[in-house]
Amino acid sequence: MMALMGIDIGTYKTSGVLVKDSGEVIAAANAEHTISLPHPGWVEHDAEQVWWGGFTQVCRELLVQSRIDPCLVKAVGVSAIAPCVLPLDGKGKPLRPAILYGIDTRATAEVASLEGRLGRQAIFETCASHLSSQSAGPKILWLRRHEPQVWKRTQLFLTGSGYLVYRLTGEAVLDIYTATAYAPLMDIHTQSWSPLMAAPITPLKRLPRLAWAVEVAGQVNGQASRETGLAEGTLVITGTADAAAEAISAGMAQVGDLMVMFGSSVFFILKTASLVTTERFWGAVFLEKGTYAVAGGISTAGSLTRWFKDQFAPQEKDAEQAGGIPAYQALSKLAAHSQPGARGLVALPYFSGERTPLHDPQARGMFFGLRLDHTRGDLYRALLESVGYAIRHNIEALHSEGVHPQRILAVGGGIKNHLWMQMVSDIAGIELVLPDKPWGACYGDAFLAGIGAGLFPDTSEIPRWVGVQEIIRPDPDTRWVYDEVYPIFRELYQQTAPLMHRLSQRDTA
């Protein structure tokens, strides 16, 4: 038997699978972790403890569960939240916690500074996207400006998947898809680092080499073998961002497939026939040579439900710990006792700013329309519906840009909440295709590892592993309610954005 391993580092959890080359999962494991919020707008991970610690824990558990000879693991694929910024010293040691993706909004001033120096249009022409809180380049500049001692000692910048590959193989590499989010550093047309754009940010020698996600980056070295249990010499592919691996796990194979990932945030990727240049989304080259995508994201989704559970559901948490039903399941029952439209309550989900199509790191969350008779169920339902409204906003914006999804594949932990998925379908008026393999990004990592090992020619072969479990269709009896509320959702942001920005400036003063 030949096996493939895939491990993904998420915002709150590390997940892994060991898979036969037929697609059958023979072991699965996960390990939870937390984020650090040291300052308003800052979101960080300890790379040694969370990333590498989570990887080694899950890797060892997979090998123990399966009882497989590590020599039978042909290749390992990795993915992680992205883009993140981790500075390493000359010995490969992290110099500070990693700065996370678009939910970390600390570099707003650096975005403006780079646009002023390099030219907003020049950046767009080079990168096929504008700078935002999602961009890694401004966060590197933030380090240069605000942490000079860290900057002075930095020899290399890596993101999450790159750090795992580095620890496994000693190779410093970044996949081209993730590098597109290292704007403005990579020229998307040449798929190489841009000396002109990098000049005010960092020397090019501090950036890893670029490679396709499915390329073999190196082999497991002796130190990594001792720490993980993997056999020395096991192939390790370059890997990629979690959302891209999730797209593969959903069965994304054809142009027109749109993956919507319901995780801590919502991220979506639409496979396109050529490079798309749109100012409201992120054009990208995808995982293999000659493949392209357009991407976008909503800053908060599962992180909203986690926040609500932690702050307002102590009895549900206590009941779960005592052996009762899971707290999220109990909260969903409360939301089901509300009604479409949350009995006149509207929420804005911008608790960590917002990415596409608003590109507003200073946006803030809101509950609007509160009455004394509103319940926790109404509040929770309003939060779930707010994500549906934000997805509808993004899909409408894609259509206005001339980009039209043909099939929508829903993946991530959020799809376990059937009530939520029905809300999204009803609000956005879309069919959601749920894959029959629930493993997520780590499953996609395993398939990508199979391509690197030569078992599959390319990602178009993923239907050999993934089928359809269910299609969720809009309920016409509730759509009219959401059609009435959606314009209020849109106008709430437009009317209150100046006040949000004033609050944000006060928070960061």
User: Around 305, how many Cα atoms within 13 Å sit in the side-chain half-sphere?
Assistant: 27
Separation of alpha carbons 201 and 142, rounded Å: 9
Bond from prior residue into 487 cis (ω within 30 degrees of 0): no
- Could you give the maximum distance between any two Cα atoms of the chain, in Å? 64
Q: What is the mean pLDDT of residues 446-457?
A: 97
pLDDT at residue 504 in the model: 87
Per-residue pLDDT, 509: 59
Q: Which residues of 374-409 are buried (b: 16+ CB within 10 A; e: fewer)?
A: bebbbbbbbbbbbbbbbbbbbbebbeebebebebbb
Q: What is the mean pLDDT of the chain?
A: 96
Structure confidence by residue, pLDDT tens digits, 304-324: 999 999 999 999 999 999 999
Tokens for 453, please give them. 């090992």
From the list 174, 181, 196, the residue with the least C-alpha distance to 134 is 181
Residue with tokens 């240049």: 277
The token pair at 21 is 């080359």
Domains and CATH numbers, the chain: 3-252 (3.30.420.40), 302-434+470-508 (3.30.420.40)
Measured CA to CA in angstroms, residue 413 lies from 74, 258, 396, 410, 494 at distances of: 28, 17, 24, 10, 31
Q: Is the pLDDT of residue 507 over 80?
A: no
pLDDT at 508 over 80: no
* pLDDT at residue 1 greater than cutoff 90: no
* Integer CA distances (angstroms), 331 to 56, 322, 334, 381, in order: 33, 16, 5, 9
pTM of the model: 0.86
User: In this structure, which amino acid lies at residue 162?
Assistant: G
C-beta separation of 432 from 424 below 8 A:
yes
> What pLDDT, on a 0 to 100 scale, did the predictor assign at position 263?
87
Q: What is the pLDDT of residues 347-376, one digit of tens each?
A: 999 999 999 999 998 999 999 999 999 999
Vertex 146: Cα angle to 141 and 150 (nearest 5): 85
3-state secondary structure of 395: helix
- pLDDT band of residue 279 (cuts 50, 70, 90) is confident
Which pLDDT band, with edges at 50, 70 and 90, does 438 fall under? confident
Q: Give every CB contact of residue 372 below 8 A, 6+ residues apart in sequence.
A: none
Per-residue pLDDT, 104? 94
Contacts of 214 (CB under 8 A, 6+ apart): 237, 238, 287, 288, 448, 451, 452, 458, 459
User: What's the angle, vertex CA 489, arms to CA 488 and CA 493, rounded to 5?
Assistant: 105
Identify the pLDDT of residue 421: 97
User: What are the pLDDT digits (tens) for 404-427?
Assistant: 999 999 998 899 999 999 999 999
**Region 278-284 average pLDDT:** 90
Please state the rounded mean pLDDT for residues 16-24: 97
